[in-house]
Amino acid sequence: VTGVQTCALPILEATPEQLTALESRLGYAFAEPYLLQTALTHPSFRHEHPGMQTDNQRLEFLGDAVLGLLLAEQLFLERPNADEGALTVLRSRCANGTILAEIARELELDNLLRLGRGANSDGNRCRDSNLAAAIEAVLGAAWIDGGIEAARAIYARLFRDRAGVMQADDLWRDNPKGELQAHVQAAGPDLPVYTLIAAEGPDHARRYRVRVEAAGYSAVGEGTSKRDAEKAAARAWLAQQRQ
């Protein structure tokens, strides 16, 4: 299964020495270490320990917003020629689950994450989604502990270089619909309109044909799913404009 590796058994909590080592990797020392421990606590662990009041879900919610803010600030300042659509997609790429999980593994959060025994039994400790949630929760915990400057310190250590080196050429890779939308919105408020014009063949080998209309032009694409056909239509539309 993608994003799952062989992992250790559940831990009750990280030791003070482990938390100190993690803080060193983060580039920030928490005034309230319990916040960092909470950021490492999956809901399944709390459910198996009735006396526990909190897990990392609320901190994840906050950390997601904190990361979005700091990414937006960096991209806005460093890419003055990028429009809103490009900045939005670039921010999304910088904060996708795969990248967040990669950062979490570099920090060894997979060895510190507290999960219930049931959740841990199928490899959830190393699942991308759980690790991504944990790194966002760490950012949320830092914000609560030390405000925006604490979050900035961790962001600078973990994210700034990654966001800075992403090339514009990578921006729309595998996302022709996003590129088309950004292209159209740069000239006005209208959005591309996709219309299914055919669905042919048996259920196990159906082919879809979709037309996209935008900015007075149209193009048609085909694929084995409606989504793939829409992407093909968007690619065809963009190819026309580049001719």
Annotated catalytic, 64?
Answer: yes
Which one from 55, 60, 64, 145 is the annotated catalytic residue?
Answer: 64
Q: What are the residues whose beta carbons fall under 8 Å from the beta carbon of 198, sequence distance 6 or more?
A: 207, 208, 209
* Of the candidates 154, 134, 124, 108, the residue with the CA atom closest to the CA atom of residue 37: 134
Annotated catalytic, 84?
Answer: no
Strand order in the sheet with 217-223: 193-200, 207-214, 217-223
By three-state DSSP, how is residue 37 classified?
helix
DSSP percent split of the chain into helix, strand, coil, nearest 5: 60, 10, 30
Task: Provide the sign of the torsion angle of the four alpha carbons 151, 153, 159, 161, taken in this order.
Answer: positive
* Of the candidates 18, 32, 1, the residue with the CA atom closest to the CA atom of residue 109: 18
Which one from 55, 60, 128, 136 is the annotated catalytic residue?
Answer: 136
Return d(Cα 95, Cα 14) in angstroms, integer. 26
Q: CA 148, 152, 153 angle in degrees (round to 5)? A: 120
Q: Which residues are catalytic?
A: 64, 136
